[in-house]
Amino acid sequence: MTVAFLSKRTALALLLAYFCLASVATRAESIADYPSKPIKIVFPWSPGSDELLRVLATDLSTRLKQPVIVDYRPGAATSIGAAYVAKAPSDGYTLLYGSSTTFSINPSAYLKLPYDPVRDFAPISRLTSSPFFVFSSPKLHVNTLAEFIALANSRPGELSYATPGIGSVPHLSIERLAQQAGITLIHVPYKGNGQLMTDVAGGHVDLSFSVHALPFINDQRVRGLAFTGAQRSPALPDLPTVSEAGVGNYVSSVWFGLVAPAGTPAPIVKKLNEAVRDILAQPAFKARFAAQGIDLSPSTPEEFAAQIRSEIPVWREAVRSAGLTPTN
């Protein structure tokens, strides 16, 4: 009886080992074949500021020999799209195009964030790191940031500013500008940059910050007032920095990057990172976005992960200083 019992246990152990080895072999084969079907990149804002991602998706499709689709899931300062990707399978076929807001600010801006920015994602690469263009509605009839500040001082609590959402980098950046300039403004949050740009151009909102405003400034649909970088933008060298415009020691920027769900195999992350960095290094790609004032800054997955972790406490203090109460 004892021998028979041991034989059954041994047979069961061998059977389990077989299935484990078969599963590992199948997984290894699937990783080697990646990608074997379309890849979806979630854009957690409304259409309108998605040019870089659309161009990147097209180039990735060519390089990876599979369609790369942009999926729009706006709302809640990118939290809706981020939560969707956090719960997606860890197979490299659902990715997220997120920002400083998504990973560094939302943990302090929301009491019940539906994802963890560190635990739930596998960073692939930072894509850009860019200061903002400060611009106003032409209907406001101000030509400089100093004139806007003077007007806001004469009409406290009357002028408005638009951002892509409560707790977003533009929101906190404009609040910091208002604090340093000693002015009070009305916040008008949007789900993305598309309608935001249209409403500032149409005079429905008075001021905004955006990394995507250069075409609107060049076409005179909005009026450029300043640039939030430490130096002037090469794309618009006549536009003064915020510090030059009279608000001293003021610098602000936002970054965007690509991540996968946590648990995505390292070889897939590595393959995507190499593809992204090669595309961003192409002269035509670099020239196209340099002309728009967008700074490309690809990274390794490790560098990107370290940046996300290090910035969370920095933005926590920014949320506190802005007097924001975390929302549910």
Banded model confidence at residue 286, pLDDT cuts 50, 70, 90: very high
Spans of all domains in the chain: 34-131+255-321, 133-227
Q: What is the pLDDT of residue 23?
A: 46
Q: Is 232 helix (H, G, I), strand (E, B) or coil?
A: coil
Q: What is the mean pLDDT of residues 255-277?
A: 98
Question: Kindly report the CA angle at 17 between 13 and 21, in degrees rounded to 5?
Answer: 175
Please give the Cα distance from 61 to 42 (Å, whole number): 15
DSSP 240: P
Q: What is the pLDDT of residue 205?
A: 98
Please give the Cα distance from 71 to 175 (Å, whole number): 31
Provide the phi-psi class of 293: left if phi over 0, else alpha when psi is between -120 and 50, else beta: left
Q: What is the mean pLDDT of the chain?
A: 90
Please give the Cα distance from 55 to 61 (Å, whole number): 10
What's the predicted TM-score (pTM) here? 0.79
Does pLDDT of 221 surpass 80? Answer: yes
Q: What is the mean pLDDT of residues 190-217?
A: 92
Does pLDDT of 323 surpass 90? Answer: no
**Fold equal for 34-131+255-321 and 133-227:** yes
Q: Which residue has the tokens 């801006």?
A: 109
Please give the Cα distance from 95 to 53 (Å, whole number): 12
Q: Among 3.40.390.30, 3.10.20.600, 3.40.190.150, 3.40.50.720, name the CATH number for the domain at 34-131+255-321.
A: 3.40.190.150
Residues 98-137 have pLDDT tens digits of 999 999 999 998 888 999 999 999 999 999 999 999 999 9
Given the DSSP bridges, would you call strands 253-261 and 121-131 parallel, antiparallel or unpaired?
Answer: antiparallel
Contact 252, 131 (CB under 8 A): yes
Q: What is the pLDDT of residue 136?
A: 98
Which of residues 327 and 173 earns the better pLDDT score? 173
Q: What CATH number does the domain located at 133-227 have?
A: 3.40.190.10
Within 10 Å of residue 3's Cβ, how many Cβ atoms?
A: 7
